[in-house]
Chain A
Amino acid sequence: MRNNWDGIWLVARREFVDQFRDWRIIAPMIIMIGLFPFIADANTREAINFMNRYGGDLILERLVPFVVLVIGFFPLAFTLGVALEAFVGEKERGTIEPLLNSPLTDSQIYLGKLLVGIATPLIASYLSTGLYLALLLRRAVTFPSAYILLLILLLTFAHAVLMVSSAIIISVQATSIRAANLLASFVVMPVAFILQGETTLIFWGDEEVLWYAIVAVTLLSGLLVRLGLAHFRREYLLGREIDTLNLKRLARLFSDRFTGKAKGIFNWYREELPLTLAQLRTPLLIVITISAVAVFASYGWTIVQIPAYITITPERAEELRAYALSNASSLEMISSQLPAPVLFYHNARAILAIFLLGIASFGVLGLGLFLVNMGLVGGVLGAAKLIGFSPLLTFFAGVAPHGVFELTAFFLATAAMVKAGAQLVTPQTERSMGETLIVSIADWCRVFVGIVLPLLAVAAMIEIYATPYILKAAFGL
């Protein structure tokens, strides 16, 4: 452990000292760190004058934490170059090979670079924030509370880790500094969007929610670090001079993985698909468990929290029940408004969205969207309970007939997505990051094409042509 840390520190310290010996790095950094707080302070002064003339103390109170957050973000954006060129820069200068020839481990080199990549922007960011806060003391404005400041500093830290861990991955994968700089937009822009969301939370005044943002960003950063470590290989840094996109090879890799050794479609169903399904046991168990938790949590929340917002008297419940039953009595007409193919398309699209979000976030956001869907089921059952229907009867008559197929499809697709996300952040000695991505997509497509689509087709047919009758029969309509 001590040796491990020594190696990380050795790499980080050299780089840290090295960048401070270059005036081309220091000068813009000092100018930016010094300049932004003064500009922000001038804007704050104008805002105070404006609010004093026209009112709006609440906005002013929220404006300062917002400015602190933004002041912290700017230095992160302009010092990102340090992380972006961590590997690819050394490669271009030819200094990487002696380092790779040394007995330092991959993780020591990677984490050393990550450490200095985080430290520099963070120091710049906190210095800038500190300077702005010092300037703010002169203004007649409510100073943000220590709690809010702590939250914002933690958010800045999470942003730094998120941006730098992404930038380091780019630096490892890119073949030139130019390419790395072009790819930097894919780091700065999403974080800028996240920042906008957090700004909304600050202006909304619900600071507690910011904790969720901190946890989510930190979790994502952790996964990015894991992804970077999993795919960091000395070999790639030396082996790739020019990256050519070999679409044919990628297509072959996909089709080889998708079809496996199958000789025909029946053989594929008999031999290949079971192999993929066998690998889904653990993710499936996880998905089913958390979806059960989501359904029960949502159900519980609905029956406890909704009455706090809407008063449901016995008369109102009766009224709602009658309304629901009158709607249900014409349910068999649904096929003319929502044909089965449209429902099938809608569900397939939802599953695709879950996968795309999942693959872009190593499973996290995809799982989030899936849980929202599961939460809706719990919410509907909770609402049924609130107006006097039996939730069990509602479930077995209104959800279960087509849900047997539809939920199974959702569970399997989500489990495959979780596996694909996990595969991406797992060290793959035989494959590059791009190859791992292709293989993960092919594995998911196997499940999607082979099982999920047929199940969704059956579910859509049942939901449109059978469920309305079962519901009507169950509720005596």
Chain B
Amino acid sequence: MIEAYDLSKEFNGNFWAVEGVSLNVQAGQILALLGQNGAGKTTTVRMLNALLTPTRGWARVAGYDVIKNPQEVRSNVGVLTEQHGLYVRMTGDEYLDYFGRVYRLSAEKRKARAVYLLDYFGLTEAAKRRTGEYSKGMKQKLAMARALIHDPAVLLLDEPTSAMDPEASRLARDEIARLKSSQRTIIICTHNLVEAETLADHVAIIYRGKILLSGALDELKRQVLGAAEYEAKFAESYDAEALDLPAGVEIVARNATRLRFRIESPQTTNPSLVAALTSRGARVVSFYEVPRTLEQVYLRTMERAQETTYAE
């Protein structure tokens, strides 16, 4: 589990890379940390892994204080760094064995974990080759395997699938989902918003070192994009003038065979809306929620943030 309060980091006495970040990620949850390059994602992750000492605030990771117990924190966290950071003259299996030793795994466990991870990421055949000969994607997969070698309780993943081919990305995502289901706590820093939406339960958007927005994805969509929108498609032209809309429903777009509604409480209103449509002779072909993506949330949030910055 990860808890952080008012986590802040100042560099050179005059630049706050991260300011007042508070997070709470429970076991079995994934938080996607989103933001532009240089927004403070990596600095936040480095503080959570006790690599940088916070200038202000505190954080507890896997039950340990990042300031008082940095070694314990690092023992219980698996980190995938922005750069793969492989030793290019080591072979794949030597590399995993080395980090297994670093994390003080027994010989049997090291071997078992290395065999499992190499096999899982499809690197078994390349295990005896020097990592310098690996393709970019293979290097990324091996780096991911390194982060998982000690089966950590907490995972901090910086761009976990960048440079991976679609198949490998899928494998990585599956492994992250599996880890989530086995009660691991995970933070992903990514620019891949589709991936973040697929994997994350919670999202935090960071801008110039400050968290602009954070929460469950549905909440954020509602908060940023407004109430949910639903679209009804009709078999033939339909005149909605006579339609008696239930409270909390508003028509936001229309053409001859479609109507789009903004609905405050879909759970309670939708049954009566559908009933109203059919009772008024509408031949409804489909009634569905208009998909709203994390990308929209992100872009809208950044737009507002930039407007505020310029205004200031």
Contact with A along B81-107 (1 / 0, CB 8 A): 101111111100000001101111000
* Residue in B12, B52, B81 whose beta carbon sits within 8 Å of that of A98 in the complex: B81
Pair A103/B103 contact, Cβ less than 8 Å? yes
C-alpha spacing A238/B81, complex, angstroms: 12
Pair B46/A238 contact, Cβ less than 8 Å? yes
* Residue in A10, A18, A98 whose beta carbon sits within 8 Å of that of B85 in the complex: A98
Which stretch in A34-42, A89-97, A289-297 binds the other chain?
A: A89-97
Pair A95/B51 contact, Cβ less than 8 Å? no
Which residues of B lie under 8 Å from residue A96 when comparing CB positions?
85
* Residue in B11, B71, B74 whose beta carbon sits within 8 Å of that of A239 in the complex: B11
What number of residue pairs across chains A and B have CB atoms under 8 A from each other? 69
A97-B85 CB under 8 A given contacts A104-B102, A105-B71, A235-B53 = yes
C-alpha spacing A79/B106, complex, angstroms: 35
Q: Could you say which interface size class chain B belongs to? A: 20 to 34
Pair B83/A94 contact, Cβ less than 8 Å? yes
Q: State the main secondary structure of chain B at its contact with A.
A: loop
Q: How far is the CB of B133 from chain A (nearest CB, A)?
A: 13
Pair A102/B51 contact, Cβ less than 8 Å? no
Pair A103/B102 contact, Cβ less than 8 Å? yes
Judge if B146 is at the interface, Cβ distance under 8 Å: yes
Pair B89/A100 contact, Cβ less than 8 Å? no
Pair B12/A246 contact, Cβ less than 8 Å? yes
Judge if B75 is at the interface, Cβ distance under 8 Å: yes
C-alpha spacing A22/B89, complex, angstroms: 8
Pair B51/A10 contact, Cβ less than 8 Å? no
Pair A234/B102 contact, Cβ less than 8 Å? no
Which residues of B lie under 8 Å from residue A281 when comparing CB positions?
none
Pair A18/B90 contact, Cβ less than 8 Å? yes
Pair A95/B86 contact, Cβ less than 8 Å? yes
Pair A97/B89 contact, Cβ less than 8 Å? no
User: Which B-chain residue is minimally distant from A235 (CB atoms)?
Assistant: B52
User: Which B-chain residue is minimally distant from A95 (CB atoms)?
Assistant: B85
Pair B99/A98 contact, Cβ less than 8 Å? yes
A101-B13 CB under 8 A given contacts A10-B101, A94-B83, A95-B87 = no
Judge if B49 is at the interface, Cβ distance under 8 Å: yes
Pair B51/A100 contact, Cβ less than 8 Å? yes
* Residue in B74, B81, B83 whose beta carbon sits within 8 Å of that of A103 in the complex: B74
Q: How far is the CB of B180 from chain A (nearest CB, A)?
A: 21
Pair B89/A18 contact, Cβ less than 8 Å? yes
C-alpha spacing A100/B51, complex, angstroms: 7
Judge if A21 is at the interface, Cβ distance under 8 Å: yes
User: Which B-chain residue is minimally distant from A239 (CB atoms)?
Assistant: B11
Contact with B along A170-196 (1 / 0, CB 8 A): 000000000000000000000000000
Pair B79/A101 contact, Cβ less than 8 Å? yes
Contact with A along B15-53 (1 / 0, CB 8 A): 000000000000000000000000000000010010111
Q: How far is the CB of B162 from chain A (nearest CB, A)?
A: 14
C-alpha spacing A360/B86, complex, angstroms: 38
Interface residues of B (CB under 8 A from A): 11-13, 46, 49, 51-53, 71-72, 74-75, 77, 79, 81, 83-90, 98-99, 101-104, 143, 146
Given A21-B89, A101-B51, A103-B74, 6 more contacts at CB 8 Å? A14-B98, A97-B51, A98-B143, A101-B74, A105-B71, A235-B51
Cross-chain pairs A/B with CB under 8 angstroms, 14 sampled: A93-B88, A95-B86, A97-B85, A98-B85, A98-B146, A100-B51, A102-B74, A103-B71, A103-B72, A103-B102, A103-B104, A104-B102, A105-B71, A235-B51
